[in-house]
Amino acid sequence: MRKRIHRRYVAYLISLTGLVYFGFTYYLGTARGWQHYETFTAGSDRLYMIVEQQKVLAGALLALGFGIWAKFDRRTK
């Protein structure tokens, strides 16, 4: 008998990934995080725009994960 991966575990993983990703990009968006990041890189406006785009991507991952989670969670029925 094959073991199946339940959809809610996939949703948990997607939401957790989105949450970690969002936390990291949010930290980079703060002045302290950006200053910390600039010590390792040259730091440019283009990089700042990339960080802002990553925040949107992380938010989309979070929404997707929580949406799947809510849809397949048995307690919400």
List, in sequence order, the alpha helices (H) in the chain.
7-29, 31-40, 45-72
Tell me the domain boundaries of the chain. 7-76
Residue of 67 and 1 predicted with greater confidence: 67
Per-residue pLDDT tens for 27-61? 766 777 766 666 655 656 666 677 777 777 777 87
Most distant CA pair in the chain, distance: 54
Among 14-23, 31-40, 64-73, name the one with the lowest average pLDDT. Answer: 31-40
pTM value > 0.85: no
Burial per residue of 11-49, b for 16 or more beta-carbon CB atoms within 10 angstroms, e otherwise: bbebbeebeebbeebeebeeeeeeeebeeeeeeeeeeee
CA-angle at 31, arms to 53 and 46, nearest 5°? 35
